Chain A
Amino acid sequence: DTGVSQNPRHKITKRGQNVTFRCDPISEHNRLYWYRQTLGQGPEFLTYFQNEAQLEKSRLLSDRFSAERPKGSFSTLEIQRTEQGDSAMYLCASSLAGSNSPLHFGNGTRLTVT
């Protein structure tokens, strides 16, 4: 079990640029989640997939954000036209299907928008 893997660990970008993050979940997990965490706050839900289907999106996920999970394996989160308010830690988590399955998190991608 290699755990949830996220790349890159840190991304610095200029306002207006597009960025893409990647998440590789635990191999047998069919659910994959994206969360965002800012300093001093708990993680906030953005979206989740079951296999390749995106089943729920938060109101936090503006139209500049898009997530994909082709083939139900790894996932990408893209932010277009980044803004300084997008600076945060983006966390990926995976779990087995079922509402009682705990989430296992990766170490996140820290985004800094200058």
Chain B
Amino acid sequence: EADIYQTPRYLVIGTGKKITLECSQTMGHDKMYWYQQDPGMELHLIHYSYGVNSTEKGDLSSESTVSRIRTEHFPLTLESARPSHTSQYLCASSRGYGYTFGSGTRLTVV
């Protein structure tokens, strides 16, 4: 049973649309992360949060934004989707050094 939930699982959307990828966890973890992964490539950190009202940009520059209003919820938003945003987006949370990953959202922008 998954403790971290990502929706949608797959999304195909047109250029210019605003989208929000949802991520929720039920473990009460303070730390949450968003990773971007292109096919066959390694994961890259794009955003992270160490608690409510705390968000930071990751190692890979991204045009997306995040918010952390509640501990359990860490949504990622793209204001205007472009084909270059096509990728897989994975959410994770951690306590100490233990990580839990979501199932990912595979985004295609056409």
A and B are interacting partners: no
Residues in B lying within 8 Å of A, measured CB to CB: none
